[in-house]
Amino acid sequence: MGIARSTYYDNSTISIDDTELVETMAAISENFESYGYRRMQAALRHRGLIVNHKKISLSNGVQVWV
């Protein structure tokens, strides 16, 4: 084929704006107030947004030290 296997199977990620992320997280947290960063990440992934857990924790106001 002439291309690397990693290139063929690579999923390109779409970067979203932080304001769109915060608005989506606010919409989720209106319905589910007790969601932590893990359930919030799963809910965002269900909506098609792939976001790092550190970005979600900072947007939620929770500090995660890695």
pLDDT digit string (tens) for 21-44?
Answer: 888 998 998 898 888 889 999 999
> Average pLDDT for residues 59-65, to the nearest whole number?
55
Residue 13: strand, helix, or coil: coil
C-alpha dist (Å) from residue 20 to 8, 9, 32, 40: 30, 28, 18, 15
pLDDT of residue 44: 92
pLDDT at 2 over 90: no
Query: What is the per-residue pLDDT across 43-56, written as a single tens digit (0 to 9) for each?
Result: 999 998 888 888 88
Domain boundaries, the chain: 15-60
